[in-house]
Amino acid sequence: MQSASTRNAIAHAVHSYETQRIRTPQGRRRKLSVAYILERIFYVCNTECQWSQLEVPESSYKTVYHYFNLWFEARLFENVFYAGLTVRQPVGGFVVVDSENRHNARRKAQRRDYVE
């Protein structure tokens, strides 16, 4: 199962790819939104069902597979995966914050009438 940050990264990558791919919409409007198509793709990944068993109301599973294949060939999923590997995760559980400087800076600013 994908984490929320992975899903958001994929959605962002797909959105930026689609806005570059379709600058001026031509033809008919989409029956399925990009968000719904992504949801169906995540469903196939999580349940490991076959594409032909995918339930898509008002359309066909072939539409979802078409977009999956389009984005797969554009390497969107691969790029998000490798970008996630390079993001450094914080190590440790403690954070030390020196708040004394912040308080002193506020007092100095009040003395100089910078902050009310």
Average pLDDT over residues 5-18: 88
Count the Cβ atoms, other than its own, within 10 Å of residue 9. 20
Band of the pLDDT at 108, cuts 50, 70, 90?
A: low
Read off the pLDDT of residues 76-91 as tens digits, 9 standing for 90 and up: 989 888 888 776 666 6
Q: Which pLDDT score is estimated for 114?
A: 54
CB within 8 A of 13, min separation 6: which ones?
76, 79, 80
Please report the pLDDT score of residue 49 as a whole number.
93
Asked if residue 51 is part of any domain, the answer here is yes
Q: Please report whether residue 34 resides in a domain.
A: yes
Asked if residue 68 belongs to a domain, the reply is yes
Residue 104 lies in a domain: no
Task: Please enumerate in sequence order all residues whose Cβ is within 8 A of that of 65, keeping only pairs 6 or more positions apart, or say none.
Answer: 51
* Number of domains composing the chain: 1
Whether residue 26 lies inside any domain: the answer is yes
Number of continuous H segments (helices) and E segments (strands) in the chain: 5, 0
Q: Is residue 116 in a domain?
A: no
The model's pTM is: 0.67
Averaged pLDDT for residues 43-51: 93
CA–CA dist 55, 57 (Å, integer): 6
Residue 63 lies in a domain: yes
